[in-house]
Amino acid sequence: MIIKHPYVSEKASMDMEYEGKLQFIVDNKASKKQIAAELEKMFGQNVKSVRTLMTMKGQKKAIVCFENEKAGEEILSRLGIM
């Protein structure tokens, strides 16, 4: 499984609220295309863009923007975070 868990922080919640972006911790070897495909399969929402970065702890974080602006809120409510 490529997606490990959602990343929840104050900055991540601000990104979701103002820009509709969600953040996930993913497998270190996963590509952007693999991350997008997995998220589309899991949640049934089209992914607009994926940006990745390595955290100071050595984990790979993906910042995902969905085509539907309300998709982020729907996904977080499905996961029980919001």
User: pLDDT tens digits for 16-68?
Assistant: 888 889 999 999 999 999 999 999 999 999 999 999 999 999 999 999 999 98
Alpha-carbon distances of 40 from 22, 33, 54, 57, rounded to whole Å: 13, 11, 22, 27
Reported pTM: 0.90
pLDDT of 58: 96
Closest to 24 in 3D by CA, of 37, 33, 41, 12: 12
Q: Where are the domains of the chain?
A: 3-79
Domain 3-79 - what CATH class? alpha beta
pLDDT band at 70 (very low <50, low <70, confident <90, very high): confident
pLDDT of 31: 97
Task: Say yes or no to pLDDT of 74 above 80.
Answer: yes
